[in-house]
Amino acid sequence: MSDPVTTATSDNPAVIPVQAGPGVNPQGPTQERAASLWSDARRELIRNPIFLASVSFILIVSSMAILPSMWTSKNPRDCDIKFAKLSPSAEHWFGTNVLGCDYYSHAIYGARPSLSIALIATTGVTLIGVVLGMLAGFFGGWVDTLISRIIDMIYSLPFLLGALVILGVLRQSDLLHSDQWWPPVLVVAIVLIILGWVGVARIMRGSVLSAKNLDYVLAAKSLGASNSRLMFRHILPNAIAPVVVVATISLGGYIGAEATLTFLGAGLQPPAVSWGTMIAGNIDYFNEYKYLVLIPCGLLVPTVLSFILAGDALRDALDPKLR
Amino acid sequence: AGCQTDSTPEAPAAGGTIRVGSSEAAGLLPGFDDSPSIVVLRTIYAGLVENDNNDGKVVNQIAQSITSDDNKTWTVKLKNNYKFHNGEAVNADSFINGWNYVAYGPNAQPNAPFFGSIVGWSDLQSEDPDGEEGPQKAPEPKAKTMSGLKKIDDFSFTVTLAEPFVGWPATVGYSGFFPWAKACLADTKGCNETPIGNGPYKIEGSWRHNVGVTVVRNPDWAGASKGKPDKIEFKIYDKIDTGYADFEAGELDIWDGVPPAKYKEAKGKYGERMFENPSNTFTYVGLPLYNDNFKEVKVRQALSLAIDRQAIIDAVFDGRFSAAQGVISPNFEGYRPGACANCKYDAAKAKALLAEAGGWKGGKIVLWANAGAGHDKWLQAVGDGWKRDLGIDYELKVDLQFPQYLATGDAKKFTGPFRLGWGPDYAFLETYITPLYSTTGSSNSSGYSNPELDKLIKDAAAAKSIADGIKFYQQAEDLVVRDIPVIPMWFGRTANVRSENVKDYVYNKIHGTVYTEITLKDPNAVK
Amino acid sequence: MGRYIVRRLLQFIPTVLGTLFLLHYLTTVGIQLTGNPIRALFGDKRPAPETLAALTSRLHLDDPCLKQKGNPCLGLFRERLVDIGQLDFGTNFRFRPVFDWRGFFDRAHASIITDALPYTIKITIIAFTIEALVGVFIGMRAGMKPGKSLDYSVKISTVMVISVPVFVLGILIQQFITRDFGNFLRGQEWIPEVISRGVFGSAYKQEFPFASLIIPGIVLGMLSLATTARLTRTSVHENMRADYVRTAKAKGLTHKRVIGVHTLRNSLIPVATNLGLSIGGYMTGAIITETIFNVPGVGNQTARAIFQGEPAVLIGITTMLVLVYLVANLLVDLLYAVLDPRIRYE
Amino acid sequence: MSDVSVDMSPSLAGVKMTAPLLEVEELKVEFRTRAGIAKAINGVSFEVNSGETLAILGESGCGKSVTAQAIMGILDTPPGYITGGQIRYRGVDLLKRTDEERRLVRANKIAMIFQDALSALNPVFTVGFQLAELFRKHRGMSRADGKKRAVELLDLVKIPAARQRVSDFPHQFSGGMRQRVMIAMSLALDPELLIADEPTTALDVTVQAQIMSLLAELQRERQMGMILITHDMGVVADVADRINIMYAGRIVEKAPVYDIYAKPSHPYTKALLESIPRVDLKGQQLNVIRGLPPNLTRIPAGCAFNPRCRYVRDACKVDPIPPLYEIKPGISSACHFWKEVRGDD
Amino acid sequence: MTDVVLETRDLVKYFPLTRGILLKKKIGDVKAVDGINIQLARGETLGVVGESGCGKSTLAKLLVGLEKPTSGSIVVRGKDISKLSGEATRKARRNIQLVMQDPYTSLNPRMTVGDIVAEPFQIHPDVAPKGAIRGRVQELIDLVGLNPDHINRYPHQFSGGQRQRIGIARALALKPEIILCDEPVSALDVSIQAQVMNLLDELQRELGLSYIFIAHDLSVVRHIADRVAVMYLGKIVEIGSDIQIYEQPTHPYTQALLSAVPVPDPTLRGHRDQIVLQGDVPSPANPPSGCRFRTRCWKAQEICATQEPLLEIRQKSAHPSACHFAEVRDVIHATQ
Ligand SMILES: Nc1ncnc2c1ncn2[C@@H]1O[C@H](COP(=O)(O)OP(=O)(O)OP(=O)(O)O)[C@@H](O)[C@H]1O
Ligand SMILES: Nc1ncnc2c1ncn2[C@@H]1O[C@H](COP(=O)(O)OP(=O)(O)OP(=O)(O)O)[C@@H](O)[C@H]1O
Ligand SMILES: [Mg+2]
Ligand SMILES: [Mg+2]
């Protein structure tokens, strides 16, 4: 039976010279070993035009947020009521607002608070929500009961009430009146996080519940995998998809929520500008001066869209079945 | 002129239902002081006196006469043919008992302070023995009735004031002085839901909270004008934008108060169907005189002069307000145009004055307003003006909710100029002076104290006649606009719109739209 | 399972107590920080101190602990619990009772909650129906053909809805749909009033108790509708490749059935969570939509109570909402077991 | 409702009952993946007739399931694409028909038993629902009738206490029972052709024997053609009429069942048969085929089996690919050196 | 037995049986594993065969600690592992590994094959130094006959058999003392199956592994097992060396089972003497009294319904058999 008509390749498969195929690094295994869900996803992403477009847009907008002076030489606080509500012109690209401030510089300077609040809040909400939702779903029992009840409690509070009171408390520290730009942003973001993580946590808990008894989780368990490994290597990647969706969606919501809070006087303090406040503060003038609302919307919507599209692309890239 | 359209000789077609936009009242008892309450109360109640729809002059309604020799003890004589909707007669007791009820502290009626000038008022209030912080609860007040109210007979009584006040008869047209039926005093809760008034209209059914109040003509009304529409439907809106939107959708005949941002559009759209008139609400920027930076008069004058009121009104409010020319409403007897020289925009003069005063030393000026009410925009414009013309940078502090904001003001803790407003309590210009600027004024939030002014007020109250009194108050106004303890900004402007179906629109300078006198072109348009 | 439900119901008690305490604490801190809310009733005018004191003490806001920042006022909380235990939820600042169950049956006992609740229930039903049906439907359609034009148009339109603050959205809808388009409809004789004045009215109307809630309901449902649609899309997309979907295809079922029954059912588990959550979320939304469209419901009352700082109203309303929310959540959890029989509750 | 037993199964235009039940010709399927194009099927041809059982054997991953999916028309596209060939059912090329026409062929004419029963059954519907659905959607039966039929089917596949189990969910069944449910599902509509993709892998031998004899019986009764895909040489020996051996997406040998076992004509077949554990080899190493299955993105030139073949010569390592040499009527082999392999001459 | 590495004592697992969706109530127990006593010696392979649903997988899950036993104990080297907790369980698990039955669901769809196989090393970092993991993974992949090229692929890109091998590679990684194979080769074609079995054999010889090998394919079990246990409805009905079970089966169920084994020889088609069992498989929720097999047994008598036959050596059975009428019958060589 075993009269091996040996060819170079048959005996020890490990030494078969690996022919490089498309997408496989000819350098061989060292490089190849790098492949993991994340590195594959990265490779996938940099070839996805929609992802690239979204990310470019996000980068553009981020550069506005980080270095507004690169985009405009005007000071958003140079306002002259005599030049109020001018239509867009060469002097004022986006016209002026009701106080006679250059609206273009507002649009640029408005990026920073909007984006940073949205990003900080989304990150915080996602982190806390994912971790607590995971713990609740994974361990069940009293951990679940405790976390779920806390979720219930926070969830049933009216958002506005919670936000107003928490902001009131945080305001005592006078963070909202700092000379720095970030303390008020942080304060608003913290409020959004405190009240927002529960949604993500519930979604996460639901996904974990259905993922935790799958065979591959059991398999890892029987290998002696620690709970954290089960949760973060096995369950998390397979349960995160709905969270990504909710997180990217709420990112848009947070920009709006900041506007609502500011509108109620609880958020940023004017004359600080954000896109949300630009929309909220000018909605009354919409009939006559449409550009006052359309311009910030025109920045906000594509930004949120970019985040959502990028999130989608990320999620797809993390699903090997789609490859 | 109060009446917008010229009345035709023949009586206008009466009848029909008019639909009026309003908002949820705090209550439908005369003890409530908010305007949605008052709007309804004025149709179902009638007071001792009325303001004439044409010129705002005080005329007797239920009162036969109100007289005094010393401006201190007033004798009120009543007509005897008025009845409450439940058939009770309107007599001296209706007033005396009602006023005592409102004034009695534990009843917690918002209008209680209006009786504060009557002798014996403080006996009806309880005093906390160990201060507010203390653990003990306040005891029962000493008395249940004010000693200053004395019944002479069924249809006359006397009112004794603690201090002489020439304008007192003008104040009793206010809804807080409306009479109370016995049945109403017996069941105030029920009466709040289903009011028992004495006016030309009476409630149909009862108050549908947050939805509406409907009143119908009272056939037993003894007054001169019987009221034009058969029925007035007050529809309750929470936000003026919604109410206005519903007006635009043809659901309302009268809408009082076009939203500021829609004003320009509405003006073009409704043309002569929009009625405009200066209103009596006064907006000002108070200056904290308790703060060293604002002690210098010239600084205050400079700040006031550096505000281009008209530009702000035009830019932010589409020209919706009337820039203040003094501190008294243009609708009031005794108003003088241009009374305030420091209220005109004059950047050069402002700069000069500030220089004279030695410049500004307070660093960034902090502008205060309460949160969520949309005041930040125009305050920014004010600040921008200062920054531009006086080189004073500013910041806004607009994050305090109303109670906290007011408490901060009451505690004199504002660190910079603060926004406040004022509305008249009664149709007498005194209401714009004493509470705001007298040393002990109930709403003197700037901490202004000028003995000269206090004296003028005293003199005015003791004046022989109303006309005499007005002269003193005008002198007081002159002091105020010179010293600028508050920077007068503007008076509001009514912008009331009406549907095509409205024929005669009647406006009373003091109270606003007179719903009971409105006539319709087609009374049957709404079934 | 029965025991599971009983256990969950028992857990309601600590949750409700917890929420009540949280709320009590928030309102207390609110008062401690911002001062006596009664003061604001008088607006810019400063009230006579006596009047203020009288009102304050009648509304039980004169407890000294309300002046000590950070004090949880446990005594007040206990009193409040005792009152609530006796179904006495107190009154608002205008002395209207917050809750009186008899108000559901008898106008003479009308109270804030019994007046407001029916409207909110109606608007919630409308919002929920729209969210569930429309959201799941468009999400499913988008998920079936990912990357196609429908997918993108759903994506873009949901992004619009999501990123524009609700009140802006509501105002725009009011301007363009109920006013401009509505006025056009009202100009047409042949259109029944229930459409032109009811559905497309700018505000809630007594005459059209259901029709005039449709647009507010849509606005209310819109935000979570977007989430539902996106979630459904993702979920369907993920499950499309499942082996049992292949089986369904092999059974010769129509594409519609393969997607609509076999894929969808499995995809609904995360969606169900979201739907359950959105019932709670509606309250935040209702505060805004009800105000914009003048619906005299719970949201409207909550908004008023928040801005006037009326603790009794807030606590009364929230107690009720918490119960609604908890029941909704319990139902969602039970729904899990229906949707996914592999989950078992013991 | 129960007398609505009209055959709602539609007929396909152009069907010739005289034509062979199923002919697959030069079928090519590829998967376009990120790592390149995996040529899973590279020209597979075979036919099945009514009443006949064709067994397809081959290494894991050689493309058996993909072939079956291509016939059913349930290949996931993307990434799988049929790039060539024909699949003729009764003379009609299914690949040229519309989706709707193909849909009606599924389950009605050609049914399939899936390899993995747990994931192939929908976890959220009861077994009864999933069975009754076929009757409801294809035969227009009522729910109650559908359920009745579902119980009958479960009985047919020997599920104990079928009446109660019908409302259980798949996860409540053991692996074997699930597989039987799958079988029941495929037989529900009396298909003309049954594709059984490892139908008994999860079954114990007693049940397997029952199921196989059940299948054989039904096949006899209904003149049903069957494609049996399996690894179990014993089962094949028991039920197959003809055998096709697949390797790397091609058929390398075709022969009647007796011939294969007696005298394999392809080195791969030979090696495969030698790997079967036998009593006499107890305690010894089993024979294995050395080397690795080919990477489908880079199939070697010439005969795909050449790197692992004992009989390999230079000719095997270059194109053209060895054609299917017809050895005798009904027997063919894709080996240049089939004679040597058979030990003929 | 001398070197016992694993022993179970009266191992029992009941699953609660519920009805209804909303208001589930317990209506009984599924007696999946009902009093199993086995011993596994070092270097030994115990085959477990039996009807599907008789509790084989449940037994395996109990042994690796994925299910908690209802009662009874599992003793590994003198320690009752079912009573351990936390870290100790994780340590204990290292020694006893499971190859799962279902290759489709037992691999994380979002991990590459390389990561899946490397995972045991990451969980137990003391097994291989970090730098060596890669090499070990490749070795293992290679060992189970997969192309090391595929290390970066995801499970869904493999055929069922390929996936099963990934599972085996993962279980082998830690070189455990005991490997539980729950039908490890049922999805494999015979040549790969042979490879896997050779591999298991080799590993056993080299490392002295012990196996519990669950399979339906009796010829595979026969090839690999030293001893064989036959299960029926949660109980072992017969246990003995491979020769004893295959050549001299004494329990009727074993006999029926063996007679049904298909033989890869078409010439024998229709000539084998198959014992066809009558009746339905009873439900494990409500097993028959006495002998559980009696409802389908051709030898059943009254005593079978009243008295449960113990698993013991009997007059006509040289090895333990749970039948009152145990008697040798050669079914394998029987032809008609
Ligand atoms: N989605 C896919 N992407 C890439 N390759 C795939 C995909 N699906 C299947 N393949 C490849 O196609 C080939 C054939 O797979 P198929 O499932 O038909 O094998 P099989 O013969 O059924 O094997 P087994 O007997 O193990 O089930 C395999 O090599 C597999 O790797
Ligand atoms: N989680 C569970 N809940 C309820 N019953 C279960 C559960 N798991 C298994 N069972 C039942 O326990 C019995 C034994 O199942 P098990 O999976 O151990 O069988 P098996 O011998 O492995 O069968 P197969 O050979 O088909 O895989 C079966 O009747 C099954 O229905
Ligand atoms: Mg296969
Ligand atoms: Mg099993």
What DSSP element (H or E) covers A155? helix A141-156
What DSSP element (H or E) covers E114? helix E113-123
Sheet holding E317-321, edge to edge: E96-99, E178-182, E210-214, E45-50, E227-232, E235-241, E317-321, E312-314
Tokens representing residue E240 in the block: 């003995």
What DSSP designation does A101 have?
A: B
Longest dimension (CA), chain D: 69
Of B58-67, B354-363, D71-80, the range with the lowest mean pLDDT is D71-80
CA separation for the pair A168, D229 (Å, rounded): 71
**Does residue C191 share a domain with residue C300?**
yes
**Does residue C123 share a domain with residue C189?**
yes
E54 against B92, higher pLDDT: B92
Tell me if B98 sits within 8 A of B185, measured CB to CB: yes
CA separation for the pair E53, C181 (Å, rounded): 66
Tokens representing residue D264 in the block: 């394999």
Tell me if D326 sits within 8 A of D255, measured CB to CB: no
Of B153-157, B442-446, C63-67, the range with the lowest mean pLDDT is C63-67
Tokens representing residue A188 in the block: 């608003």
Amino acid code (one letter) for E56: K
Per-residue confidence (pLDDT) for residue E154, from 0 to 100:
83
- In a domain, residue C98? The reply is no
Q: Give the 3-state secondary structure of residue E193.
A: helix
Q: Which chains touch A (3 or more CB pairs under 8 A)?
A: B, C, D, E
Taking the centre of ligand 2 as the mean of its atom positions, its distance from the CA of residue E34, in whole angstroms, is 12
Query: E16, C346: Cβ pair inside 8 Å?
Result: yes
B304 against B277, higher pLDDT: B304
Among partner residues C51, C57, C115, which is closest to B113 by beta-carbon distance?
C51
Domain interval for residue D276:
241-345
Residues B436, B442, B445: CA angle, nearest 5 degrees? 55
Per-residue confidence (pLDDT) for residue B498, from 0 to 100:
92
Tokens representing residue B304 in the block: 């006031």
**Whose CA is closest to atom 14 on ligand 2?**
E55
If we measure between CA atoms, which residue out of C180, C292, C170, C200 comes closest to residue B269? C180
Q: Which chains touch E (3 or more CB pairs under 8 A)?
A: A, C, D
Per-residue confidence (pLDDT) for residue B4, from 0 to 100:
42
Instruction: Name the minimum distance, in Å, from the CA of C266 to any CA of chain D.
Output: 7
CA separation for the pair A107, A71 (Å, rounded): 10
Per-residue confidence (pLDDT) for residue E334, from 0 to 100:
59
Paired residues of E317 in beta bridges: E314
B149 against E223, higher pLDDT: B149
Of A262-271, B295-304, B363-372, E38-47, the range with the lowest mean pLDDT is A262-271
Taking the centre of ligand 4 as the mean of its atom positions, its distance from the CA of residue E76, in whole angstroms, is 23
Tokens representing residue E212 in the block: 């519990």
- In a domain, residue C329? The reply is yes
B165 against A265, higher pLDDT: B165
Q: What is the mean pLDDT of residues B160-174?
A: 89
Residues A209, A211, A212: CA angle, nearest 5 degrees? 70
Is D270 at the interface with chain A, CB within 8 A? no
E195 against C124, higher pLDDT: C124
Interface test with C, best of A50, A115, A155 (most C CBs within 10 A): A155
Q: What is the mean pLDDT of residues B408-429?
A: 87
List CB contacts of B474: < 8 A, sequence separation 6 or more: B334, B336, B339
Q: What is the mean pLDDT of residues C218-237?
A: 83
The per-residue pLDDT of chain B, averaged, comes to 87
E222 against D292, higher pLDDT: E222
- Give the tens place of pLDDT for each residue, E100-134: 877 778 888 888 888 888 888 888 888 778 888 88
**Does residue C262 share a domain with residue C197?**
yes
Handedness of CA E96, E99, E100, E106 (dihedral sign): positive
- In a domain, residue D289? The reply is yes
Angular region, B16: left φ>0, alpha ψ -120 to 50, beta rest: left
Query: B443, C179: Cβ pair inside 8 Å?
Result: no
Chain B residues in contact with C293 by the CB 8 A cut-off are 242
B479 against E111, higher pLDDT: B479
- Taking 3-state DSSP, the helix, strand and coil percentages for chain A, each rounded to the nearest 5, stand at 70, 0, 30
- Give the tens place of pLDDT for each residue, D129-168: 888 888 888 788 788 888 888 888 888 877 777 787 888 8
Neighbours of A52 (CB within 10 A): 14
Angular region, C332: left φ>0, alpha ψ -120 to 50, beta rest: alpha
B241 against B449, higher pLDDT: B449
Tell me if B396 sits within 8 A of B376, measured CB to CB: yes
Residue A89 has pLDDT above 90, yes or no: no
- Give the tens place of pLDDT for each residue, D17-45: 777 888 888 888 888 876 678 888 888 88
What DSSP element (H or E) covers C274? helix C264-292
Protein residues with CB under 6 Å of any ligand 1 atom? D 31, 33, 38, 40, 58, 60-66, 79, 115, 296; E 157-161
Tell me if B394 sits within 8 A of B387, measured CB to CB: yes
Residue A7 has pLDDT above 50, yes or no: no
Instruction: Name the minimum distance, in Å, from the CA of C102 to any CA of chain A.
Output: 25
User: What residues does the ion ligand 3 have nearby, CB within 5 Å?
Assistant: D 65, 115
**Does residue C154 share a domain with residue C10?**
no
Per-residue confidence (pLDDT) for residue A24, from 0 to 100:
34
Q: What torsion, rounded to 10 degrees, do the Cα atoms E83, E87, E90, E92 define?
A: -60
Q: What is the mean pLDDT of residues C233-241?
A: 81
Transcribe D143-184 into DSSP letters.
Answer: HHHHHHHHHHHHHHTT-TTHHHHTTS-GGGS-HHHHHHHHHH
* Residue-level length of chain C: 346
If we measure between CA atoms, which residue out of B374, C44, B393, B366 comes closest to residue A262? B374
Among partner residues A82, A100, A265, which is closest to B372 by beta-carbon distance?
A265
Neighbours of D219 (CB within 10 A): 18
Query: A99, B373: Cβ pair inside 8 Å?
Result: no
- Give the tens place of pLDDT for each residue, D68-123: 888 888 887 777 888 888 888 888 888 888 877 788 788 788 888 887 777 788 88
Taking the centre of ligand 1 as the mean of its atom positions, its distance from the CA of residue D304, in whole angstroms, is 16
Paired residues of E144 in beta bridges: none
**Does residue C178 share a domain with residue C309?**
yes
Residue D211 has pLDDT above 80, yes or no: no
What DSSP designation does C276 have?
A: H
Query: C243, D116: Cβ pair inside 8 Å?
Result: yes
Residue with the two structure tokens 């929470």: B238
List CB contacts of A232: < 8 A, sequence separation 6 or more: none
Per-residue confidence (pLDDT) for residue A36, from 0 to 100:
66
The per-residue pLDDT of chain C, averaged, comes to 82
Paired residues of E28 in beta bridges: E17
Residue D292 has pLDDT above 90, yes or no: no
The pLDDT confidence band at residue B12, using thresholds 50, 70 and 90, is very low
Residue D290 has pLDDT above 80, yes or no: no
Residue C208 has pLDDT above 80, yes or no: yes
**Chain E residue with Cα closest to C339:** E21
Among partner residues C243, C249, C253, which is closest to D119 by beta-carbon distance?
C243
Provide the CATH number for the domain around residue C276: 1.10.3720.10
> Do you find a cis peptide bond into E16, omega within 30 degrees of 0?
no
Per-residue confidence (pLDDT) for residue E26, from 0 to 100:
60
Q: Which burial class, exposed, middle or buried, applies to A27 when counting CB atoms under 10 A from its CB (0-12, 13-18, 19+)?
A: exposed
Tokens representing residue B330 in the block: 């243009």
A302 against E203, higher pLDDT: A302
Which domains does chain E carry?
4-18+29-225 (3.40.50.300), 249-336 (no CATH)
The pLDDT confidence band at residue B138, using thresholds 50, 70 and 90, is low
Q: Which chains touch C (3 or more CB pairs under 8 A)?
A: A, B, D, E
Per-residue confidence (pLDDT) for residue A27, from 0 to 100:
36
Query: C247, D120: Cβ pair inside 8 Å?
Result: yes
**Whose CA is closest to atom 20 on ligand 2?**
E53
- In a domain, residue C95? The reply is no
- Sheet strands (E) in A157-298: none
Q: Give the 3-state secondary structure of residue E203.
A: helix
Chain D residues in contact with A1 by the CB 8 A cut-off are 274, 287
The pLDDT confidence band at residue B33, using thresholds 50, 70 and 90, is confident
CA separation for the pair B443, B406 (Å, rounded): 11
Split into its structural domains, chain D has a count of: 1
Q: What is the mean pLDDT of residues C232-246?
A: 82
Tell me if B18 sits within 8 A of B518, measured CB to CB: yes
Taking the centre of ligand 3 as the mean of its atom positions, its distance from the CA of residue E155, in whole angstroms, is 14
Chain B residues in contact with A264 by the CB 8 A cut-off are 371-372
Query: E24, C334: Cβ pair inside 8 Å?
Result: no
Per-residue confidence (pLDDT) for residue B201, from 0 to 100:
94
Q: What is the mean pLDDT of residues B341-353?
A: 92
List CB contacts of B483: < 8 A, sequence separation 6 or more: B297, B300, B448, B450
Of B8-17, C158-167, E20-29, the range with the lowest mean pLDDT is E20-29
Residue B128 has pLDDT above 90, yes or no: no
Taking the centre of ligand 4 as the mean of its atom positions, its distance from the CA of residue D203, in whole angstroms, is 9
Q: What are the angstrom distances between the C-alpha of B106 and each of B102, C59, D82?
A: 9, 11, 89
Handedness of CA C294, C297, C299, C305 (dihedral sign): positive
Query: How do strand D92-93 and strand D80-89 relate by DSSP bridges?
Result: antiparallel
Query: D175, E102: Cβ pair inside 8 Å?
Result: yes
- In a domain, residue D309? The reply is yes
- Give the tens place of pLDDT for each residue, E238-278: 998 888 888 888 888 888 888 887 777 777 776 667 777 76
The per-residue pLDDT of chain E, averaged, comes to 81
- In a domain, residue C103? The reply is no
Tokens representing residue A237 in the block: 């990647």
Split into its structural domains, chain C has a count of: 2
Test site for ligand 2: of E15, E104, E182, most ligand atoms within 8 A of the Cβ: E15
- Give the tens place of pLDDT for each residue, B176-190: 999 999 999 999 888
A37-66+110-322 fold = MetI-like fold (1.10.3720)
List CB contacts of C85: < 8 A, sequence separation 6 or more: none
pTM of the model: 0.77
Q: Packing angle between helix A241-263 and helix A275-282, nearest 10 degrees?
A: 50
If we measure between CA atoms, which residue out of B409, B484, B424 comes closest to residue B450? B484
**Chain B residue with Cα closest to A262:** B372
Taking the centre of ligand 4 as the mean of its atom positions, its distance from the CA of residue D319, in whole angstroms, is 46
Q: How far is CA B223 from the centre of its chain?
A: 25
Q: What is the mean pLDDT of residues B60-64?
A: 92
Residue with the two structure tokens 């109210």: B149
CA separation for the pair B68, B165 (Å, rounded): 10
Listed in sequence order, the DSSP H helices in C35-111 are: 38-41, 49-58, 74-85
Angular region, A157: left φ>0, alpha ψ -120 to 50, beta rest: beta
Residue B150 has pLDDT above 90, yes or no: yes
The pLDDT confidence band at residue B310, using thresholds 50, 70 and 90, is very high
Q: What is the mean pLDDT of residues C58-75?
A: 81
Tell me if D183 sits within 8 A of D198, measured CB to CB: no
Q: What torsion, rounded to 10 degrees, do the Cα atoms C20, C22, C24, C28 define?
A: 180
CA separation for the pair E156, B475 (Å, rounded): 93
Per-residue confidence (pLDDT) for residue B478, from 0 to 100:
93
- In a domain, residue D198? The reply is no
Query: C54, B442: Cβ pair inside 8 Å?
Result: no
**Chain E residue with Cα closest to C346:** E24
If we measure between CA atoms, which residue out of D290, D286, D325 comes closest to residue D307? D290
CA separation for the pair E89, E200 (Å, rounded): 25
Q: How far is CA C90 from the centre of its chain?
A: 23
Per-residue confidence (pLDDT) for residue B298, from 0 to 100:
92
Per-residue confidence (pLDDT) for residue B486, from 0 to 100:
93
Per-residue confidence (pLDDT) for residue D163, from 0 to 100:
81
Instruction: Name the minimum distance, in Å, from the CA of C32 to any CA of chain A.
Output: 10
C319 against A147, higher pLDDT: A147
Q: Which residues of B443-475 are buried (b: 16+ CB within 10 A; e: fewer)?
A: bbbbbbebeebbebbebbbbbeebeebbebbbb
Taking the centre of ligand 4 as the mean of its atom positions, its distance from the CA of residue A138, in whole angstroms, is 25
Among partner residues C252, C253, C266, which is closest to D124 by beta-carbon distance?
C266
What DSSP designation does B118 have?
A: B
**Whose CA is closest to atom 8 on ligand 1?**
E157
Domain interval for residue C37:
2-86
**Whose CA is closest to atom 18 on ligand 1?**
D63
Residue E187 has pLDDT above 70, yes or no: no
Per-residue confidence (pLDDT) for residue A323, from 0 to 100:
54
B466 against E189, higher pLDDT: B466
Residue B304 has pLDDT above 70, yes or no: yes
List CB contacts of D339: < 8 A, sequence separation 6 or more: D345
